[in-house]
């Protein structure tokens, strides 16, 4: 497919005339890739092992099978689960993840980033709540600059807002796994939509660009260029829904706050990489 062919229409037509967002197709194929790179099983073996429901597994035969994995591979078609003998997509993902070879594949399928690709008009509270949830669950905080200790505030004045924000961010990203790093960077980028925050946005866009490139190269190598293009357009095209514009000023102030591990909010050792400026790069 031409990566520019769906600039204005990210939906593709599926069997029966249904429209499927590019991210839903990518999600299914990325999950399939994650599963099949962990083993040398054929679609037939994967079907035989996982497609039947627990209640009907005693009915399975080698001849009568749903060909789920073949449909996923060829058409990114998720099983609907209408036949009681066979699993739907969510049940299939759950069953595969329980197998010792495939632990962690469910986390990819359920990653927040797939929803972020598709929600290009989030409300202010949706963005703030998602950011706060990610920060809290990983021991991180957004800190107002004037609440920093004197030594750290002096460093902020010396480096400038963008460089200081980037150093704090890179320190914080170490506490997240790859998928949550990508989600946090995306949400922080959206959070800083206000024009006064665009220098911070430049920092975040640089991280997002690198992470998205790595994400699709890792999980969808055959479609990485196309999906990377879709994702960048989705990021740049996401705009906050301003129906509740009374809170936009608070969002603008909150977005500029650097992200730090909670234990560093009140005390950052003078030899910490935030001060010395090296050893910060996060390897993905």
Q: Is residue 281 part of a domain?
A: no
Q: Is residue 159 part of a domain?
A: yes
Q: What is the dihedral of CA 152, 153, 159, 165, to 10 degrees?
A: 80
Q: Is residue 2 part of a domain?
A: no
My answer on whether 163 and 221 are in the same domain is: yes
**Can you give the pLDDT at residue 19?**
61
- Domain count of the chain? 2
My answer on whether 29 and 92 are in the same domain is: yes
Q: Is the pLDDT of residue 79 over 70?
A: yes
**Can you give the pLDDT at residue 281?**
52
My answer on whether 172 and 94 are in the same domain is: no
Taking each helix axis from N to C end, the angle separating 43-50 and 89-98, rounded to the nearest 10 degrees, works out to: 90
My answer on whether 90 and 220 are in the same domain is: no
Q: Which of 64, 86, 109 is the last residue of a domain?
A: 109
Q: Is residue 27 part of a domain?
A: yes
My answer on whether 137 and 173 are in the same domain is: yes
Residue 81 pLDDT class (50, 70, 90 cuts): confident
How do residues 128-173 score in pLDDT, each as one tens digit? 999 999 999 999 999 998 888 888 888 889 889 999 999 999 999 9
- C-alpha 56/C-alpha 85 separation (Å) is 5
How do residues 255-273 score in pLDDT, each as one tens digit? 889 999 998 887 777 777 7
Give the mean model confidence (pLDDT) for residues 236-259. 82
My answer on whether 174 and 128 are in the same domain is: yes
Q: CA geometry: angle at 259 spanning 254 and 263, to 5°?
A: 125
Q: Is residue 6 part of a domain?
A: no
- C-alpha 128/C-alpha 53 separation (Å) is 39
My answer on whether 162 and 42 are in the same domain is: no
Give the mean model confidence (pLDDT) for residues 190-197. 91
My answer on whether 120 and 103 are in the same domain is: no
Q: What share of the chain is helix, strand, coil (3-state, %, to 5)?
A: 60, 5, 35
Q: Which of 109, 134, 155 is the last residue of a domain?
A: 109
Which residue range is the domain that position 60 belongs to?
11-109
Q: Is residue 5 part of a domain?
A: no
Please, is 282 exposed, middle or buried when counting C-beta atoms within 10 Å of its C-beta (0-12, 13-18, 19+)? middle
- C-alpha 260/C-alpha 249 separation (Å) is 22
Give the mean model confidence (pLDDT) for residues 247-257. 79
My answer on whether 170 and 260 are in the same domain is: yes
My answer on whether 172 and 71 are in the same domain is: no
**Can you give the pLDDT at residue 66?**
82
The two tokens of residue 151 are: 């030594």
Q: Is residue 1 part of a domain?
A: no
Pair 208, 117: CB distance under 8 Å: no
Q: Is residue 213 part of a domain?
A: yes
My answer on whether 72 and 164 are in the same domain is: no
Q: Which of 109, 125, 155 is the last residue of a domain?
A: 109
My answer on whether 144 and 221 are in the same domain is: yes
Considering the chain, what percentage of its residues have pLDDT values greater than 90? Answer: 62
């Amino acid at each position: 497919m031409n990566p520019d062919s769906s600039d204005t229409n990210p939906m593709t037509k599926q069997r029966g005339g249904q429209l499927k967002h590019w991210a839903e197709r990518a999600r299914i194929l990325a999950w399939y890739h994650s599963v099949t790179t962990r083993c040398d099983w054929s679609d037939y073996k994967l079907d035989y092992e996982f497609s039947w429901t627990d209640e009907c597994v005693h009915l399975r035969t080698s001849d009568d099978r749903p060909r789920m994995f073949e449909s996923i591979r060829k058409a990114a078609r998720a099983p609907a689960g209408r036949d009681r003998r066979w699993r739907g997509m969510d049940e299939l993902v759950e069953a595969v993840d329980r197998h010792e070879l495939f632990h962690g594949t469910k986390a990819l399928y359920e990653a927040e980033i797939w929803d972020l690709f598709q929600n290009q008009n989030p409300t202010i509270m949706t963005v703030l709540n998602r950011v706060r949830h990610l920060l809290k669950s990983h021991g991180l905080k957004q800190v107002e600059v004037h609440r920093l200790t004197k030594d750290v505030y002096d460093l902020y004045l010396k480096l400038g807002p963008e460089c200081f924000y980037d150093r704090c961010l890179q320190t914080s990203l170490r506490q997240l796994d790859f998928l949550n790093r990508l989600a946090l960077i995306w949400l922080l980028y959206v959070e800083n939509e206000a024009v006064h925050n665009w220098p911070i946005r430049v920092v975040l866009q640089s991280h997002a660009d690198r992470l998205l490139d790595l994400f699709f190269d890792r999980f969808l190598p055959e479609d990485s260029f196309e999906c990377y293009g879709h994702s960048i357009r989705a990021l740049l095209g996401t705009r906050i829904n301003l129906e509740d514009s009374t809170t936009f000023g608070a969002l603008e102030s909150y977005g500029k706050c650097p992200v730090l591990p909670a234990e560093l909010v009140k005390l950052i050792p003078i030899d910490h990489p935030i001060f010395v400026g090296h050893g910060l790069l996060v390897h993905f």
